[in-house]
Amino acid sequence: MNKLLPFLYAMRIYAPIILLVLALAGAAGAVFAQEEGHTIRGKLQVDSSWNAEVYLSYLPTFDDLHRITNQMIVDRVKMSPDGSFAFSTRFLPEEDGLYRIHLTKKGDPAASIIIGGRDQNFLFLIANRNTDLFVYNEEGVGLFDKVTIEGYLPNHKLQEISQIASYIDSADVSTSNIKRTFIAQAIYEKLRAVADSSKHPLTSLFALYHSNFLSNYVNNKGYYEEYLQRWQAENSSYFQAFREQIPQRQAEKSSSMVWLYAILFFGLGWGGRTAWSMLRNRKTKKVQQLSVQERKVFRMMQEGKSNKEISEACNIGMNTVKSHVSSIYAKLNIKSRKEAMDLPKN
Amino acid sequence: MKKTFGIYVGLLTLMMAFVNPLQAQSTVVDLDRKVSLEATTKTEEFAVTVGEKASRLDIMIQSWVSAGELTIEIYDPAGEKVGNFSVGNQMQTEVSVPVDGKEEQVKGRISKNVKEPAQGRWVVKVIPQKTTGKVEMRSRVHFD
């Protein structure tokens, strides 16, 4: 027992410190765990013509699929010698967004996009703050020609859509022009069907953007009206940009604006006329409030007679005429003879 | 004599076999263009005329932009857009950066290869918005 006493005494002193250290270690562990968080990882087999750096760009609309600026690049990471790379997604918004990862050819700037051919240098992804993805490619073909995405499910659909859309270019090979047109139309039709059946708003819109919708809209209005109806609650920048591009909607919008202006124009005209008429009626009513002599003077004023002429005609003095005129101005709320002449004649 | 004649016919056959592929060798029409842009905003169109019996059309356009925005669009003879890209550089400077300063540039490249292309006028639209940079176009029409 005596031996235990020093130990217990020591524990009384050191226990709070040990507990504090443990608590701090736990908190630090939690922070590190959060720091590690979710990632977009990958392993790419690339030849020596590519830089060992991978870029992640944020695309605010589907019109930016083939657009690049330095400002769109949100992160860059080095690839390890075996082609591995990882982006943390902790800084991404909570909502799903469209992203693009790309590599650059040696000698090219960071913001470079290559479309078509074996050197096509980008891949689209849907991600958010909690996304975990793993991307890898097959060697011997174009950089992202045969790529597999594991993880967040909407990306599987995205891959499927990209694959379908790529058939349009592969239809260029060994087919006649007419046949190629038919193939393209069939592919667009398929993409519209994918857009229709897709449950995820971004994959759905991704399919539609690959389906040449601007040309198709005129002949297929019903489809797009229903489509917009279906996604009317979607208010992301992707859908806003899409809605602005539907030509007929714009035409309808401008036509409804014409109607609005017409109604406004006629409304203002009618309103103005009614207001003017009410004003005149009110003044007419006020004329009835004038005395018999004032009414007589008022009628002569309306005929354009001067005070002197009124004085002579009514056989009254000039001062009396002036007094009547002042009284008429006050009762009718007018300021000049001209206003008196504009009022309806009784 | 018969042997000599046989050798002669054999040589002639061999010659014909070599001559035919030579006659079928493809003809190529190249067209290269370079456009320099200095705070330019005017849209320009460049046409590639594809004649009858063209077997293949290759179009390659690349651009480097150090300031402003540039859009490149490719249209087939039916007026359908068959390819496009945009590059932009929103530098907050009045001074144009030399296009060889790579870090400050933005680069775009598009390749379009069409077998049995539609006959007519293929159009490349260069749409700059206060753009400083350059555009290179290379088109090649093959005839077999």
Distance CA A84, CA A100 (A): 17
Closest residue on chain B to A104 (Cα): B107
Cross-chain Cβ contact A113/B85 below 8 Å: yes
Of A67, A68, A172, the CB nearest to B114: A172
pLDDT of residue B98: 45
Task: Collapse the DSSP code of A344 into the 3-class scheme (helix H, G, I; strand E, B; otherwise coil) and give the result.
Answer: coil
Across the interface, whether the CB atoms of B108 and A174 are under 8 A apart is answered no
Q: Give me the residue label for tokens 């790309």.
A: A102
Q: CB–CB of A109 and B90 under 8 A?
A: no
Burial of B76 (0-12, 13-18, 19+ CB in 10 A): buried
Q: CA–CA separation, A53 vs A161, rounded Å?
A: 27
- The pLDDT of residue B127: 97
As a three-state string, the secondary structure of chain B is: CHHHHHHHHHHHHHHHHHHHHHHCCCEEEEEEEEEEEEEECCCEEEEEEECCCEEEEEEEEEEEEEEEEEEEEEECCCCCEEEEEEEEECCCCCCCCCCCCHHHCEEEEEEEEEECCCCEEEEEEEEEEEEEEEEEEEEEEEEC
Pick from A241-250, B35-44, B71-80, B120-129: least confident: A241-250
Q: What is the dihedral of CA A224, A227, A232, A234, to 10 degrees?
A: -110
Chain A residues 58-87 within an 8 A CB cutoff of chain B: 64, 66-71
| Contacts with B81 (C-beta within 8 Å, 6 or more apart), sequence order | B73, B74, B75
A242 vs A60, A97, A214, A251, CA distance in Å? 12, 15, 10, 15
pLDDT the model gives residue A113: 96
- Chain A residues in contact with B53 by the CB 8 A cut-off are none
Contacts of B85 in chain A (CB under 8 A): 66-68, 113, 115
DSSP A52: S
Return the H-helix or E-strand segment holding A223: helix A221-230
Of the partner residues B88, B102, B110, the one whose CB lies closest to the CB of residue A109: B102
Structure tokens at B7: 């050798």
Rounded distance, CA A46 to CA A142, Å?
9
The overall average pLDDT reported for chain B is: 81
CA distance A132 to chain B (A): 29
Contact B108 A68 (CB under 8 A): yes
- Whether A163 has its CB under 8 Å from any CB of chain B: the answer is no
- Beta pairing class for A39-43 and A84-88: antiparallel
The partner residue sitting opposite B115, judged by closest CB among A114, A116, A173, is A173
**Neighboring chain B residues of A176 at a CB cutoff of 8 Å:** 116
ipTM over 0.90: no
Check pLDDT > 50 for residue B130: yes
| Contact map slice: B 7-36 vs A, CB within 8 A | none
Contact A116 B105 (CB under 8 A): no
For CA atoms A137, A141, A143, A149, give the dihedral sign. negative
Radius of gyration for chain B, computed over Cα atoms and rounded to the nearest angstrom: 23
pLDDT higher than 60, residue B81: yes
Residue B97 has pLDDT above 60, yes or no: no
For residue A126, the distance in angstroms to the closest alpha carbon of chain B comes to 21
Residue closest to A161 by CA, chosen among A211, A207, A97, A213: A207
Q: Does B141 touch chain A (CB under 8 A)?
A: no
Residue-level pLDDT at B69: 95
How far is the C-alpha of B141 from the C-alpha of B25, rounded, in Å? 14
Q: Which of the four pLDDT bands, split at 50, 70 and 90, describes residue B23?
A: very low
List B32's β-bridge partners, or say none: B138
What pLDDT score was predicted for residue A32? 44
- Residues facing residue B135 across a β-bridge: B35, B63
pLDDT confidence band for B93 (50 / 70 / 90): very low
Q: Could you tell me if B67 lies within 8 Å of chain A, comparing CB atoms?
A: no
List the single residue in B with minimal CA-CA distance to A111: B106
CB contact under 8 A, A175 and B115: yes
One digit per residue, the tens of pLDDT, for chain A of length 346 reads: 556 566 666 666 666 666 665 555 544 444 444 445 899 999 999 999 999 999 999 999 999 999 999 999 999 999 999 999 999 999 999 999 999 999 999 999 999 999 998 899 999 999 999 999 999 998 777 888 889 999 999 999 999 999 888 877 665 555 566 777 788 888 999 999 999 999 999 999 999 999 988 888 888 888 998 999 999 999 999 999 999 988 655 555 555 666 777 778 777 877 777 776 776 666 666 777 888 888 888 888 888 888 999 888 888 888 888 888 988 888 888 888 888 888 877 5
The contacts of residue B24 (CB under 8 Å, 6+ apart) are: B144
Is A110 an interface residue toward B (CB < 8 Å)?
Answer: yes
pLDDT tens for each residue of B24-68: 445 677 778 999 999 999 999 999 999 888 888 999 999 999 999
Question: Chain A: residue nearest B85 by CA?
Answer: A66
Q: Dihedral of CA B89/B94/B100/B103: which sign?
A: negative
Chain B: closest CA distance from residue A217 (Å):
14
The arithmetic mean of pLDDT across residues B81-92, rounded, is 84
DSSP assignment of A151-171: ESTHHHHHHHHHHHHHHHHHT
C-alpha span between B137 and B57 (Å, rounded): 13
